[in-house]
Chain A
C-alpha cells in the first residue's frame, strides 16, 4: 500500500533495448530519488530531483541512464541501451525535504536477457 506508485512492476528487455520505468511520488513530496537495488541487496543511488530539477546524480546515470520529473506527469527513469548488469530492482522514493523521511515505492524489477 505504498504511497509512491511505480510502474511497471516487472520489465523484461533484451540487451541493447531501451527500458523505461515510471514513478508517481507521494502527494506533497517535491523531492524524488531513484535507487538501484541489486541481487546482493546493495543500494546504489542514481539520481534525485527537486520538482523538475536534478539535485544530484552519479556518473552512471550521466551515461546510459536518463531521468526526468516533468510537472504534472510521472517521473521516469530510462536506460538507453540495457545491459545484463542492469538487472535489478529499481526503487523510486520521495520526500518532503532533506530533513524528512523518505517513502519508497514497490519498485520495478528489471530483467535484461
Chain B
C-alpha cells in the first residue's frame, strides 16, 4: 500500500519552462511534507518543505502548493535549468507517534537545454 504517490514518473521540460511535479497522500495525520532532490550517485538533499498549516511555500524558483482537503501537493520549478535534472522525491511524516519519513517513488526530471 503506497501511502505517498508521485506523478508523473518522468518529466521532460525545456530550459526556462515551469516543471510541475505532483504528490498525493492517504494518511490524514501527515502534516510535514519535504521535497528532496537526488542526483545519481548521491543521497537525497532537502530542497523545500511545508507543514500542513500552510497552503504555499516559496523558496526562489521552487514553490510548493498544498491542498489539505484533497490531500495533494505539487512542486513547481520555474525557469527550469539543465542543472535541475534530477529525481525529486515527495515525503511525508505525521506529527507524532512515528519518526519515519514516508517517501514517494520519485519523479525523474530532465531539463533540455
Contacts and interface: CB of A to CB of B under 8 A. Distances in A.
A101 B47 CA distance: 11
Interface string B82-101: 00000101000001101111
Nearest to A102: B101
Interface residues on B, range: 20 to 34
Contacts of A107: 42-43
Nearest to A108: B43
B95 A48 contact: no
A79 to B, nearest CB: 19
A104 B43 contact: yes
B24 interface: no
A72 interface: no
A106 B38 CA distance: 10
Residue from B43, B101, B105 whose CB has the most chain A CB atoms within 10 Å: B43
Interface string B1-38: 00000000000000000000000000000001010100
17 contacts: A2-B45, A4-B43, A6-B43, A41-B87, A41-B105, A42-B105, A45-B101, A48-B99, A55-B99, A56-B98, A91-B44, A99-B32, A102-B34, A102-B101, A104-B45, A104-B46, A106-B43
Residue from B49, B87, B99 whose CB has the most chain A CB atoms within 10 Å: B99
Contacts of A40: 105
A98 interface: yes
Interface in A66-104: 89, 91, 98-99, 101-104
